[in-house]
């Protein structure tokens, strides 16, 4: 599950499930829910905002692109998401890049956080995004433009964060598990092991370290068996460990 936060003194813990705007319910075995915006309707957001978030994406806004294995995938352009966020929250939203990297000189990944504000509350959604780097035809090892690749990864991340609020849920929810049960994808694991390496841990060492983090990994799972929320929870701890190691190295040099 991606990191989610609702800031409101009256907020209470609850299990969220995405419900279509027409109120219909599917068989539990067929449902692929993300968040319960119907619950937010009465607690956090007004009815009009919730109806806009959960409405079916207009067909004219949905595009198709070729994918691997001769498959085609439906997607919604980033411009539509930005326009909807501006309409829904009156420009009162932010998107931050929390972490990023380039793996094997061919894949850009990043972790971003979307924050939307309405009335007395703010809601944040954190997710990963990624993009394959593009290279010059006559120089296959020379990137066309790093900035464009980073922007593509940021757009992917922003769309994933916004979809957790409900935007384009009908386009993206079909290929997504329940966020509370979703396993980490390859991009997330790459970033996880990269941060472990920066904290001075080998792959095997990071696996053992992760198993011992009872506050975020209560069942002592291997990273491959963990859920997204557990992997995301490890990032701040690894960054802290990295800083602690850097401080120890400074002290060692001084003494």
pLDDT digits (tens, 9 = 90+) for 20-30: 444 444 444 44
C-beta separation of 33 from 1 below 8 A: no
pLDDT band at 115 (very low <50, low <70, confident <90, very high): very high
- 97 within a domain of the structure (yes/no): no
What does the DSSP assignment read for 195-239?
A: HHHHTT--HHHHHHHHHT-TTT-TT---GGGS-HHHHHHHHHHHH
Confidence band of 132 (pLDDT split at 50, 70, 90): confident
Give the domain extent around 246: 183-255
Does 223 fall in a domain? yes
* Residue 172 pLDDT exceeds 80: no
For residue 233, the model assigns a pLDDT of: 77
Q: Which residues of 180-212 are buried (b: 16+ CB within 10 A; e: fewer)?
A: eebebeebbebbbbbbbeebbbeeeebbebbbe
| Cβ within 8 Å of residue 72, ≥6 positions away | 64, 65, 66
Ranges 58-62, 71-75, 158-162, 232-236: which has the least confidence: 71-75
Q: Is residue 101 part of a domain?
A: no
Q: Of 2-6, 94-98, 218-222, which has the strongest mean pLDDT?
A: 94-98
d(CA 152, CA 112): 13
Residue 211 domain-assigned (yes or no)? yes
Q: Give the position of tokens 């996880």.
A: 192
Contact 154, 110 (CB under 8 A): yes
Q: Angle at which helices 47-54 and 78-89 pack, to 10 degrees?
A: 170
Average pLDDT over residues 164-173: 82
Q: DSSP letter string over 67-133?
A: -GGG-EEEE--HHHHHHHHHHHHTT-EEEEEEEEEEETTTEEEEEEEEEEEETTEEEEEEEEEEEE-
pLDDT tens string 87-104: 888 889 999 999 998 887
Name residue, tokens 């040099």. Answer: 253
Whose structure tokens read 């904290």?
199
Read off the tokens for 72: 């085609």
Q: How many domains does the chain have?
A: 1
Query: Would 76 be classed as within a structural domain?
Result: no
**Averaged pLDDT, 214-223:** 86
Q: Does residue 254 belong to any structural domain of this protein?
A: yes
d(CA 100, CA 130): 9
The whole-number average pLDDT for the span 40-51 is 61
pTM: 0.54
Whether residue 226 lies inside any domain: the answer is: yes
Examine residue 228 and state whether it is found in any structural domain, yes or no: yes
């Amino acid at each position: 599950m991606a990191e989610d936060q609702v800031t409101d003194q009256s907020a209470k813990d609850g299990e969220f499930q995405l419900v279509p705007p027409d109120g219909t319910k599917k068989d539990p075995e067929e449902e692929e829910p993300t968040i319960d915006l119907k619950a937010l309707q009465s607690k956090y957001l007004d009815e009009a905002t919730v109806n806009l978030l959960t409405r079916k994406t207009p067909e004219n806004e949905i595009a198709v692109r070729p994918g691997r294995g001769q498959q085609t995938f439906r997607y919604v352009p980033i411009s539509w998401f930005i326009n909807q966020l501006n309409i829904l929250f009156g420009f009162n939203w932010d998107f931050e890049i929390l972490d990023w990297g380039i793996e094997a000189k061919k894949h850009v990944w990043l972790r971003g956080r979307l924050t939307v504000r309405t009335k007395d509350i703010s809601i944040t959604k954190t997710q990963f995004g990624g993009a394959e780097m593009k290279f010059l035809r006559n120089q296959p090892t020379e990137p066309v433009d790093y900035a464009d690749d980073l922007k593509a990864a940021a757009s992917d991340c922003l769309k994933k964060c916004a979809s957790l609020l409900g935007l384009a849920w009908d386009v993206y929810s079909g290929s997504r598990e329940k966020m509370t049960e979703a396993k980490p994808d390859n991009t997330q694991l790459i970033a996880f092991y990269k941060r472990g390496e920066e904290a001075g841990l080998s792959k095997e060492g990071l696996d053992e370290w992760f198993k011992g983090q009872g506050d975020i990994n209560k069942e002592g799972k291997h990273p491959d068996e963990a859920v997204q929320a557990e992997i995301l929870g490890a990032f701040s701890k690894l960054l802290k460990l990295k800083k602690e190691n850097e401080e120890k190295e400074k002290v060692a040099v001084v003494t």
